[in-house]
Structure 1
Amino acid sequence: MYLVVFRNRKCAGIDTAAYDRQADRMEQLAREQPGFLAFKSFTSDDGEAVALSEWQDEQSARRWGRQAEHLVAQAKGRESWYDEYTLYACDDPQIRKFVSARPD
């Protein structure tokens, strides 16, 4: 698995409806890409957002990063949506999992 973590803070006063439409389109498009495994996003109380995407391998994630419509959205993000962002990526992340044995 290849993990991509996208942490960001949006600019004040953006058109949130337009941003949400673009974000929804990017998620839909990502899910159609070969090697896509999973996607989730979260926003903290202080406004920072974190998006996690899981890919079959690094090549799949990099292919997504170069997908034409995604490239346009990335440029729009730098121009209009994001005040700042950091992208983290790692191959074969160390995974520890816990599942409770308690009955529901």
Structure 2
Amino acid sequence: MPTHQSDLKSPCWAVIFTSVRTDADHGYAETAERMIELARSMPGFLGAESAREEIGITVSYWESPEAIEAWRNHPEHRAAQKRGREEWYASFTTRVCRVDRESRFP
């Protein structure tokens, strides 16, 4: 689910979701794919990046705090959050921050 950094506008907002998974799968991969598909359809969504090793990290980028709040409260996303707490995650942290600038190599 990589984002092309050129798609980002500064300033923008980032939601940083870090997690430790349980051993349960029960549809996790399908739900994760559905959530990125759904996020892409949301007004204000700019892109996302994700990686998983011992911990998982997904960073999604948004035009505004209001767009983030709409995503947070989307009914299908809320249902996935509930399953995450009950089945998929041993722990997680969500951080929201403003991105004022970026630099890249090359």
Map of 1:79 onto structure 2: 86
Q: Deviations over 1:28-50 (max 9, x none)?
A: 00000000001110113xx2000
Q: Does 2:16 match 1:10? A: no
Q: Max radius of gyration: which structure?
A: 1
Measured in 2, the distance between the counterparts of 1:65 and 1:78 equals 15
For residue 78 of structure 1, what is the amino acid of its counterpart?
Answer: R
Measured in 2, the distance between the counterparts of 1:24 and 1:51 equals 12
Q: CA deviation at 1:98?
A: 3.1
Measured in 2, the distance between the counterparts of 1:36 and 1:43 equals 22
Map of 1:33 onto structure 2: 42
Q: CA deviation at 1:90?
A: 1.1
Gaps of 5+ in 1: none
Q: Deviations over 1:67-89 (max 9, x none)?
A: 01000000000000000000010
Map of 2:101 onto structure 1: 95
Q: CA deviation at 1:96?
A: 3.3
Would the alpha carbon gap of residues 66 and 7 (structure 1) be closer, same or farther in structure 2, given more than 3 Å must change?
Answer: same
Measured in 1, the distance between the counterparts of 2:104 and 2:38 equals 31
Q: CA deviation at 1:15?
A: 1.9
The alignment covers a number of residue pairs equal to 95
Q: CA deviation at 1:54?
A: 0.1
Measured in 2, the distance between the counterparts of 1:96 and 1:55 equals 15
Q: Does 2:70 match 1:60? A: no
Tell me the TM-score normalised to structure 2 length.
Answer: 0.84
Q: CA RMSD of the aligned region, Å?
A: 1.2
